[in-house]
Amino acid sequence: MATLLRGRCAPIFAQQSAQSKLPLLAALSIQAMKQILLTLTLLYSALAFSSDFESRLSQAMKVAEIEPGKTYEQVVRESTWDINSSCFHESAKVRATPGYYQLVASINSQGIASHIMVKPEHHYSSCVAKWFSENTFANPPKDNWPIFLNVNIQP
């Protein structure tokens, strides 16, 4: 009799068991979806940061090809010669760095640099970036003027 009852009721027990697992499965699915969303967000942020540097560098290079960008780029470049040399020699002392980097920044109407980014980031490039953030430049043609440095010093 117990076997007969179990056999007839098995679909009912299976259905109840599956229904009781639904909230647990839904909670696991929501947690998994949150984890996937977080992973995708972090990946997208890393890609956006990288492409932001590239797009800003490209924009600054285009601006430097036309007047008044050519003139202003030359003024900024000349103002960095001494610090480039100083930072390079400091980095050479600690043998910490290659002599290549790219820097991109925006210079506001008062000549203050912001949004400074360097690639690759190492002792030499970080030294120049720090100097960039602490100094005032000639007033640019327009507010938030994009500027870049492409430096390759061989020892």
Whole-number pLDDT of residue 25: 54
Taking a C-beta distance cutoff of 8 angstroms, is the pair 128, 101 a contact? yes
Q: Please give the pLDDT value at position 80.
A: 87
- 90 with 125: CB under 8 angstroms? no
Compute the average pLDDT of residues 35-52. Answer: 48
Backbone torsion region of residue 147, taken as left when φ is above 0, otherwise alpha when ψ lies between -120 and 50, otherwise beta: beta
C-alpha angle with apex 147: 72 to 47, nearest 5 degrees?
165
Domain annotation for the chain: domains and CATH numbers = 55-152 (3.30.1150)
User: How much is the mean pLDDT over the chain?
Assistant: 76
What proportion of the chain, given as a percentage, has pLDDT over 90? Answer: 35
Residue, of 86 and 117, whose pLDDT is higher: 117
The span from the CA of 150 to the CA of 26, in Å, is: 53
Identify which has the larger pLDDT, 17 or 62: 62
**What does the pLDDT average to over 27-36?**
64
